[in-house]
Amino acid sequence: MNAHGYAAATAKAKITPFDFERRELGPHDVAFDVAFSGICHSDIHQVNEDWGPSIFPMVPGHEIVGVVTAVGPGVEKFKVGERIGVGTFVDSCRTCEYCLAGNQQYCANGQRATYNDYEPDGTTPTYGGYSDKFVVDENYAVHIADDLDFAGTAPLLCAGITLYSPLQHWGAKAGTRVGIIGLGGLGHMGVKFSHALGAETTVFSHSPDKRDDALRLGADHFVISSELDAMRALRATFDLIISTVSADMDLAPYVELLKVDGALVLVGIPGKPFKLNAGLIVPKRRTIAGSNTGGMPELQEMMDFCGEHHITSDVEVIGADYINEAYERTIASDVKYRFVIDAATF
């Protein structure tokens, strides 16, 4: 199947038009026309090899929504004409304890990433959502409510689930105090979900001009992380703090904000290691944890939650020729709050 997309030819290269072949429809595959594709900061990290060597040419994009155009003979979950979404992985071993429990994102044998990975032949790169057409196994795609703003649903496939999953896992609810560090693509979804779950929600930001937006999105409080008095006043008061920061940062000021048994959960993945004094964690039995996207059942659960609560991402829809500028603006924390590419422009 011929596909038109946008790719980085080599590490750190500009994103430019790229035509390629997708696999023909297998028995359990669904083909769809991409409608919108979100730009995640992970796309930028991988194009720039912030996390180590990547596979090129790279068609990034793992926040993909579209409309089904064809289904293989064995497909039961989807029909032609339905909305469909694909996130950060497109396959996994299906037999390990994590896959069997629906936690495919922690597959013991490694899930197949939507891009920057290889097809089962071991040589063809997987190509992501910056393209007009997509083919996916029905078990690695989700349904999307028809009345949700379509462009605003694309970021749910990564930014949304990446915050929904730890908020659920660590029990955010009425009576808990949640902090979200960084008001970007992931962070603004965290605010919406934390608020919808009833938790008292605080945004920590290094961008003072985001205060009004944070409160509009559902935050109860907004703290500028460089204001040391404000930070000191909040010591030992949080149950859960989630860091979405993409750049190098000091964790210590946030660890100090955790109550006994409080958890600081990292979802942002800066390239460099963190330094932390054990003396900050031990006395209050604090936890430092990580969380990676969500499994397929939880991805559908989040989509349904968004349908019920009318939650979508705040997006700036762009054409494909704006991707490189969008990357620069994302790195500069100048995104409100997710760039989404209109697939008609691929």
269 interface partner picked from Zn ion, ligand NAP, none, CB below 5 to 8 A per type = ligand NAP
Q: Which one, of 51, 227, 280, lies nearest residue 264 by Cα?
A: 280
Residues contributing to the site for ligand NAP (CB under 6 A): 40-42, 45, 158-159, 162, 182-187, 205-207, 210, 244-247, 249, 267-269, 291-293, 330, 333, 335
Is 158 one of the binding residues for Zn ion (CB under 5 A)? yes
Q: Shortest Cβ distance from residue 295 to ligand NAP (Å)?
A: 12
Q: Side chain identity at 106, as an amino acid letter?
A: Y
**Given the complex with Zn ion, which of 10 and 95 has the nearer CB atom?**
95
Q: Which residues contact 284 (CB under 8 A, 6 or more apart)?
A: 236, 258, 259, 260, 261, 262
Is 196 one of the binding residues for Zn ion (CB under 5 A)? no
Is 156 one of the binding residues for Zn ion (CB under 5 A)? no
Q: Shortest Cβ distance from residue 234 to ligand NAP (Å)?
A: 17
Is 40 one of the binding residues for Zn ion (CB under 5 A)? yes
Distance of CA 5 to the CA centre of its chain: 21
80 interface partner picked from Zn ion, ligand NAP, none, CB below 5 to 8 A per type = none
**Given the complex with Zn ion, which of 71 and 186 has the nearer CB atom?**
186
Is 244 one of the binding residues for Zn ion (CB under 5 A)? no
Is 99 one of the binding residues for Zn ion (CB under 5 A)? yes
93 interface partner picked from ligand NAP, Zn ion, none, CB below 5 to 8 A per type = Zn ion
126 interface partner picked from Zn ion, ligand NAP, none, CB below 5 to 8 A per type = none
Give the pair of three-digit tokens for residue 155: 């970021």
Contact 41, 169 (CB under 8 A): no
Nearest-angstrom CA–CA distance, 215 and 183: 11
Q: 181 pairs with which residues across the strands?
A: 204, 243
103 interface partner picked from Zn ion, ligand NAP, none, CB below 5 to 8 A per type = none
By the 10 Å C-beta count (0-12 exposed, 13-18 middle, 19+ buried), 76 is classed as: exposed
**Given the complex with Zn ion, which of 158 and 335 has the nearer CB atom?**
158
Contact 240, 265 (CB under 8 A): yes
Q: Contact with Zn ion (CB under 5 A): which of 13, 67, 70, 93?
A: 93
Q: Shortest Cβ distance from residue 134 to Zn ion (Å)?
A: 16
Nearest-angstrom CA–CA distance, 231 and 238: 12
Helix, coil or strand: residue 188:
helix
